[in-house]
């Protein structure tokens, strides 16, 4: 839980899948399905301007009866992103996604996008950490295994 997001990104990788604001919903959804991801970042001339997520597909496209081939991402993306520094720790990031009700955290350093961390990345990291703690405590309680 004390691990910094910089370390998580080293394992996960820094590749970020993104679309332009003028892309269509159909193209963004195809990219999400091809990559098996729940969101794409929206980048306009090098600047992060929004995120388009599975939730946006449900609420702003399907439920709003918009046509995916003609609707542009800029019309339906989520703005006002919660971004984080690579220096924050997994525990803090988990609190942030819960409080801000977001599933994806773009990681920014010196004004540059350097990666994306999802709620799944964080819970996977936290689960591994907690399992290691449990194993350690079990070894402490039971003593070393004799074989
Ligand atoms: N085993 C693992 O390491 C692991 C890691 C993350 C998620 N998952 C599982 O995947 C499912 C969905 O995960 P989720 O809700 O976290 O979100 P998700 O489906 O959006 O993310 C899945 C993975 O893709 C990455 N990703 C998502 N959008 C990206 C983008 N635009 N650019 C680059 N990478 C991107 C995430 O960081 C994550 O590693 C859950 O069932 C979760 O448990 C497993």
Asked: is 5-142 a CATH 3.30.365.10 domain? The reply is: no
Which atom of ligand 1 is least distant from the CA of 119? 16
Q: Which residue has the tokens 């597909």?
A: 57
Q: How much is the pTM?
A: 0.90
Q: In the numeric block, which tokens belong to residue 67?
A: 């046509």
Q: How far is the CA of 105 from the centre of ligand 1 (A)?
A: 11
Query: Residue 30: pLDDT above 70?
Result: yes
pLDDT at 113: 96
Q: How far is the CA of 116 from the centre of ligand 1 (A)?
A: 9
Going by alpha carbons, the residue nearest to atom 22 of ligand 1 is: 37
DSSP SS3 for 60: helix
Domain boundaries defined on the chain: 5-142
Going by alpha carbons, the residue nearest to atom 43 of ligand 1 is: 120
Kindly report, residue by residue over 31-90, the tens digit of the pLDDT: 999 999 999 999 999 999 999 999 999 999 999 999 999 999 999 999 999 999 999 999
pLDDT at 147: 61
Helix 90-99 to helix 5-12 angle, to the nearest 10 degrees? 90
Going by alpha carbons, the residue nearest to atom 12 of ligand 1 is: 120
Which atom of ligand 1 is least distant from the CA of 115? 33
pLDDT at 88: 97
pLDDT at 111: 92
Structural contact between residues 34 and 134, judged by C-beta atoms closer than 8 angstroms? no
Kindly report, residue by residue over 100-134, the tens digit of the pLDDT: 999 999 999 999 999 999 999 999 988 888 888 88
């Amino acid at each position: 839980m004390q691990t910094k997001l910089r370390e998580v990104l080293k394992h996960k990788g820094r590749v970020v899948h993104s679309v332009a604001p003028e892309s269509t919903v159909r193209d963004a959804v195809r990219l999400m399905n091809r990559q098996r991801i729940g969101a794409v970042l929206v980048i306009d001339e090098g600047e992060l301007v929004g995120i388009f997520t599975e939730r946006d597909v449900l609420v702003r496209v399907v439920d709003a009866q918009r046509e995916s081939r003609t609707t542009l991402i800029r019309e339906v993306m989520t703005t006002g992103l919660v971004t984080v520094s690579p220096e924050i720790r997994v525990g803090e990031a988990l609190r942030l996604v819960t409080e801000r009700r977001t599933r994806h955290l773009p990681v920014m350093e010196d004004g540059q996008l350097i990666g994306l961390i999802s709620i799944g990345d964080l819970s996977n990291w936290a689960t591994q950490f907690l399992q290691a703690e449990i194993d350690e405590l079990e070894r402490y309680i039971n003593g070393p295994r004799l074989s």
